[in-house]
Amino acid sequence: MLWIAVGALLAWGWLLLGQGFFWRTDVRLPRRADPDEWPAVAVVVPARDEAEVLPRSLPSVLTQDYPGQAEVFLVDDGSTDGTGELARALADKYGGLPLTVACPGEPEPGWTGKLWAVRHGIALARARTHAAYLLLTDADIAHEPDSLRELVRAAHPAGPDLVSQMARLRVATFWERLIVPAFVYFFAQLYPFRWVNRAGARTAAAAGGCVLLRREAAERARIPEAIRQAVIDDVALARAVKRTGTGTRIWLGLADRVDSVRPYPRLGGLWRMVSRSAYAQLRHNPLLLVATVAGLAVVYLVPPVAACTGALTGNGALLAVGGAAWAVMAATYTPMLRYYRQTLWLAPLLPLTATLYLLMTVDSAMRHYAGRGAAWKGRTYPAPKAAP
């Protein structure tokens, strides 16, 4: 146990200093001056059964204070709750940017529903506008009035080809407080923002709720056709864009003025959110699953177990090593809790949250092998096949 605890402490030393400082929360949208001419933007909003959240999100998109030309394309992906009709009613009530609501029908084989909707929205934007940029934003994302202006400032004219912000997710209930900040923390650990933003780096990721994409870059990367089967579409999008050339740049950071309004009041909803894509993140590889479970256990579970065992048995070395690893773990989680304005007493509970994520990952694999993997809003997607 002592040697395993030493391994965990060394792992946390590496994560603290060698993993792109993933735990820091200071990667925010760069501030730049207004461009000489504001480019046209097409806003594409894929939506499936979003009547619950649309009244809190869509008005914020329609009423953007943007100096240039902008138009919104909401694509109703087979909703059964009146999403399309509600969107039109909200546009009549709030005015603002022009809104087009389209219904492309069921996805063709080989497409996920969201990317099928994005495809239709981008096609409409190309046919009806001369937009230089595409803003891909989810139906549960609310934007402050200057959100689009700040995104374009960061990208135009010579900024990154893709600018993405990780929206601040809702944190109101007990389960949201326990799980949501850790969701962003673990994402940043997998895809350190500083590595993503470094020119020439191989790491690529985006946050699908808010992506500003240069239209030329989308065409070069064949978006969304090139990623039509992707369940984790935001990471696939960033990888496809970054692969188009050595000069292509992407940027990812935390948002200050972009928020998700989707509620997850119970554990079940959060569990489904994570488990639907966890095994896809591991490329449906059972060896990666075993390695991930073992890694999570050693890095997150061993430190508190070692510390408590050392305290109960009087083993000072075990207590010191396990306690040190647990302390470093909690310290790296503290900035994310501050970002989410949560009590810092949640930091020592990160091993409990990690245990839940471990179980969600195993459940994701079990669902996949039972034919129920990647299920979301009434659809189940198989593991993607190699692109032709």
Query: Worst-scoring range by mean pLDDT, 28-32, 179-183, 257-261?
Result: 28-32
Region 335-355 average pLDDT = 98
* Spatial distance between the Cα atoms of 143 and 91, rounded to a whole number of angstroms: 16
Q: Starting at the edge strand that comes first in sequence, how are the strands of the sheet with 41-47 ordered?
A: 99-102, 70-76, 41-47, 133-137, 210-214, 162-168, 250-260, 141-143
For the chain, the average pLDDT equals 94
Region 207-227 average pLDDT = 96
Model pTM score: 0.94
Q: Which amino acid would we find at residue 249?
A: R
Taking CA atoms, 259 is separated from 82, 98, 168, 337, 344, in Å, by 23, 22, 5, 16, 22
Tell me: pLDDT of 388 over 70: no
Tell me: pLDDT of 201 over 60: yes
Tell me: pLDDT of 377 over 80: no
The tens digit of pLDDT for each residue in 12-39 reads: 999 999 999 999 999 999 888 999 999 9
Q: Which amino acid would we find at residue 5?
A: A
Could you tell me which residues come within 8 angstroms of residue 284 by beta carbon, excluding any fewer than 6 positions away? Answer: 368, 373, 383
Region 297-320 average pLDDT = 97
For 164-194, give the DSSP string.
EEEEE----SHHHHHHHHHHHHHHHHHS-HH
- Return the pLDDT at 371: 83
- Return the pLDDT at 386: 47
- Return the pLDDT at 387: 42
* Spatial distance between the Cα atoms of 65 and 341, rounded to a whole number of angstroms: 27
* Spatial distance between the Cα atoms of 5 and 305, rounded to a whole number of angstroms: 9
- Return the pLDDT at 247: 82
